[in-house]
Amino acid sequence: MDAEDFINGQVLLIDKPLNWTSFQVVNKLRWAIRKKFELKKIKVGHAGTLDPLATGLLVICTGKKTKTIEELQAETKEYTGRLRLGETTPSFDLETSVDKQWPLEHITSQMIEKTTEHFMGRIEQIPPIYSAVKQDGVRLYEKARKGEKVEVKKRMIEIFEFEITNINMPEVDFRVRCSKGTYIRSLANDFGKKLESGAHLTQLRRTRSGDFKVEEAETIEGFINRLESKSE
């Protein structure tokens, strides 16, 4: 690949590491491409945010391919993850500390399996307060971190598949295939409520986005090494 390839447009599949924001990944790749080809600027964007505590498939577009980002964002997503029953956090994941403990002695494996049925199809979901959703031009997580009260509007999402893959109380592993805009953190929180307990997300990995699979993705370092090894 040369400079023209990136300007005309490439779709790059990156396996996002833990604790990186999607924005940081985009910046890193943009910087590497500009440096390699001595470009003053080049458009680079991602087709669907992953939280810093999530790993997995991040679809990155360059140059003219950035025009397809909206189309790619609309694709069905698939995730694998783990939630912990009996505890909740304000962010619905490990970004914030446990704020409340809930009973879980009444919960059976059969109940857990059965509860997935409540979330199938088109459902209303409230995004987490600690999210990138904008309200009055400000991202909700910015307001939440300042301790401001925010009222988050429900949104319609769709769950196509929701499979429990392992139960080792209080940990529950799952796989979800869902529509654009689904917050798996909210799904974990709502799942705990439906079990008359609490829950928060402890692991999340995006495995698919449309026809793209995480197995086809490369690490940030892998991409940069491949880029730098190209002859001038």
Q: In DSSP terms, which residues pair with 178 in a beta bridge?
A: 77, 159
CA-closest candidate to residue 47, choices 91, 10, 93, 2: 10
Active site residue 99: no
DSSP-based helix, strand, coil % in the chain, nearest 5: 30, 30, 35
Whether 175 and 185 have beta carbons less than 8 Å apart is answered as no
- Active-site residue among 51, 99, 173, 190? 51
User: For residue 191, what are its two tokens?
Assistant: 């799942």
Alpha helices in the chain (DSSP H): 3-8, 22-37, 69-73, 109-115, 140-145, 184-194, 220-228
Q: Give the residue numbers marked as catalytic.
A: 51
